[in-house]
Amino acid sequence: MQSVLNTVKGTALNVAEYLTPVLKESKFRETGVLTPEEFVAAGDHLVHHCPTWQWAAGDDNKTKPYLPKDKQFLITRNVPCYRRCKQMEYVGEETVVEEEGGDGGWVETHQMNEDGTSAELDEKICELTLDDREEMHTPNNEEPGNMDDAGAEEDDDEALDMDEFEESGMLDLVDPAVATTVRKTDKSEANKSEGASASFDTQDSVLHTRTYDLHITYDKYYQTPRLWVVGYDENRKPLTVEQMYEDVSQDHAKKTVTMETHPHLPGPNMASVHPCRHADIMKKIIQTVEEGGGELGVHLYLIIFLKFVQTVIPTIEYDFTQNFNLS
């Protein structure tokens, strides 16, 4: 049902985007939106400081006239994704960053103290106790009589002659206290060639890494950047829709992130982070910087954009851009 609603909504937004005029005057500081020219300027800044991102032209039949032909969208390829979102252990309660409107806002899944540690984690560490404490036996708590008896017994024992011990064959006996492991070999594996067997033996030790291609387009209706992702398995085969949702925060899967048609490329739908909240978040960031006495240039838009979108796809390790401080 949710996918049907997303399809209907996507179709309506495509019509609205077609009817929406191109933004000519800058409203970056007032509303957090971009003109096409500002999008290109921010893209040039991203490409310059992070060369893994490049401009792409896309399909000729889908060229947008309000953007340069060779700068239709940005792309970075083969971004690693080592873990699934469900494998991540979120420590601390979730915090709603933005709650205005009916979309529920963005969710900050990592809540830390100022020093980078988690308050909840600190409490759990303090709660750790040793239930079964073994009594420590030291010379101070041993009874003198027992110590004397033990010493007397040791004095009565004679040292073993190692030559006699070796000749008796005791070194060849297997100690039953020593654990031994024997690898079971399947008949089918035994029939394989030596090279194939070596490949099979090392297969489980290899980290199977998914990779993603990320695209940033300009959304004319929302007048903001929009992120698109397409994933591949370790054999470079495209991931299914459900597999890609495994790498999306479950607070955003099928809500903030939906499968839609790429505006510049033909082919199957791609996962996209919906841009309906981008301008509001950017506006709050601009206000925070200005309240601290700073000034945020429009050329930094995509640098900041990639950082707050990371909360949606936290296991896709694409953000190697420059650091940004709000203060």
Round to whole Å and give the CA distance between 93 and 21: 42
* From 50, 81, 85, 276, active-site residue: 276
Round to whole Å and give the CA distance between 265 and 249: 26
Q: Is the dihedral of CA 218, 221, 296, 288 positive or negative?
A: negative
85 assigned to active site: no
The CA–CA distances, whole Å, from 306 to 50, 85, 214 equal: 12, 18, 11
Contacts of 220 (CB under 8 A, 6+ apart): 17, 20, 22, 23, 36, 64, 66
Q: Two tokens at 45?
A: 């800044």
Round to whole Å and give the CA distance between 53 and 38: 17
The residues annotated with a catalytic role in the active site are 276
